[in-house]
Chains A and B, each alone.
Chain A
């Protein structure tokens, strides 16, 4: 298992390095292997004989990379928050501040051939799948350099093998099943991670997807990000069973501490190995917490207390948690971590600068109607609001 995990990890890092070299800098003694141990409470099993390994090894470079990615996502989300409050980002915007460990943990465990599809709280996943911070912030600002050329916004961010960013609650789950089915159909040793929230977990289509996945043993990981609140409703007020990892009934489940990136990593490695060994689907529950409101128009304090948020921030923050572990194990010094912090901060700032300087998409019908159809597959005409706005593909 450890060997498999290491192989997956090294693959993931090799692949990722091709598009994110700019940030990842060589660290002193980066190859040094660190023995790590997770507590028993990191996982809870449902219909599983063995859970993920609790003892494993990672290199210093890998650990600091995980730390850096989380900081970058945190900084990016904070930037989006401030830009929204400065009225530069308009429309929908859902931030994942506090949930960074899941995106980083999953991406570290899989490789670029695996597929990921998420709900609209997607900025972190898009970044981990290879979208640059500039293209994500650019998308939010509606700039032409954005992932979707500035025409999608927060809910519609795509990168290769990252299928969004989906605006409909729960609708990404059947789509993820389809992605998993494609892996099986093509005989690939890959899996699809389908993420949905605790609110979406009550959608009927989720259970339809469970049924098909188990029926055909599709390599799909149903990963529920339980951040305790579906919009403004506590999970216990909306769900008859809040153990989301048991929701698969006939599908085994695994509950993971979503506030610890190493637990997320090992849990995801386990899930991926489970799927590619032909055992069919797996239901995961990442128990996490979001510090902000559901969206930008939700202050996030009307249905929970400030003390609760403060408690989570100070005791369970994924970034501080990994930092404390690195210091405890004497993997890195305070100075090293600080420099990673600064580096990540400067990186995000420079990327935001790029996004700011980018052009808005040209306001022409050609730009508006491009990409509605795959090039070469267009229908002759697309209708506008009035007949004179009709657009003819040449």
Chain B
């Protein structure tokens, strides 16, 4: 419903509204202006009118196709109506937004009785005022120039130079005359370092040196250069297994007599098995109080390399049987190998005595 909102028609709305109660007054035809189909559109051309003069149309119908610098767009009618007169014909180009291009009337209006000149002329001044109106209050009352009272020496800022906020602040803080500074930034932009150098806070050669480094690092060197050959390093030697060795005097150790029917080997192997288990258990880290079997099975490390034990039983002719135990701890247990070996031997003696 374009006609009700164009400002000039709205001007008469109050006056008209008084008559609506009696339902006597037919609405005036209104001018249809060149619409801005995008926020950046300032002018456009008419490709083709889709509604002929005198035709009626319904809301949503395409009135005309217009052409902007970007695209060709169809303009739809917002309300039902009649195309009373087309003012600007197909093919016209560079029509400014807001220029009347047609006159629209309500369905049932007598088109013959419309005074087109007055409709269009009443449109002209209104468009002018609306285009100028918004500009007035936009002018800022406070000047963007920094207040001169804030500093003792005035800062001369070259007209085209836009300083970064941080630099701007420094210039004011240090009261530097930036017209004498040569910028080292991109396209000669003045940077914080330049201001600091000009104020004598850092050495005057520093910004130029820094700029060189930055310049060098901003260009990625992709040229191929074979990497220097590394000297072949010896593979790391695996730590040797820890070996704990001891001789247990069975005769002294065993409080029972080695009599017939007693299988020494069996006893020893049983004791050894139990001692191995104990050594493993004792060397394991203490389980948490919050230990959960299911959780542990998900998170616990994989079973380690088995604890390797070698036992040797030495028999001497005259003396009673002596048992020599040699414990070999795999390198994986290295940090606690000695301890495990000791525990093993201790437990072995215990189990052998346990009958």
Contact = CB atoms under 8 A, between A and B. Distances in A.
B38 A87 contact: no
Contact of A342 (B23, B140, B142): B23
A363 B13 contact: no
B137 A360 contact: yes
A78 B146 contact: no
A217 B335 CA distance: 59
Chain A interface helix/strand/loop/mixed? helix
Given A83-B5, A299-B73, A301-B74, A78 B79 contact: yes
A52 to B, nearest CB: 31
Interface string B264-304: 00000000000000000000000000000000000000000
Contacts of B21: 343
A352 interface: yes
Contacts of A364: 141-142
B194 interface: no
Given A78-B79, A85-B35, A299-B37, A352 B137 contact: no
B6 A82 contact: yes
Given A88-B130, A387-B146, A350 B35 contact: no
B38 A297 contact: yes
Interface string A340-369: 001101111110110010001111110000
Contacts of B136: 360
Contact of B78 (A81, A347, A360): A81
B7 interface: yes
Nearest to B23: A339
A79 B140 contact: no
A345 B141 contact: no
Contact of B33 (A86, A339, A346, A360): A86
| Residue in B33, B39, B140 whose Cβ sees the most chain A Cβ within 10 Å | B39
Nearest to B7: A356
Interface stretch (A166-174, A269-277, A305-313): A305-313
B138 interface: yes
A294 interface: no
B37 A352 contact: no
A75 B137 contact: no
| Residue in A84, A386, A389 whose Cβ sees the most chain B Cβ within 10 Å | A386
B338 interface: no
A291 B39 contact: no
Interface in A258-314: 291, 296-297, 299, 301, 306, 309-310, 313
18 contacts: A79-B1, A80-B5, A81-B5, A82-B78, A85-B37, A87-B98, A296-B39, A313-B58, A346-B20, A349-B4, A349-B10, A352-B4, A352-B5, A356-B11, A362-B137, A386-B146, A387-B146, A389-B144
Q: 9 shortest A-B CB distances, which residue pairs?
A: A349-B13, A85-B35, A79-B5, A346-B17, A78-B1, A82-B5, A360-B137, A353-B10, A78-B78
Given A87-B98, A353-B10, 16 more contacts: A75-B4, A78-B2, A78-B5, A82-B78, A86-B5, A86-B33, A86-B130, A297-B38, A297-B39, A299-B73, A349-B4, A356-B11, A363-B137, A363-B141, A386-B168, A387-B169
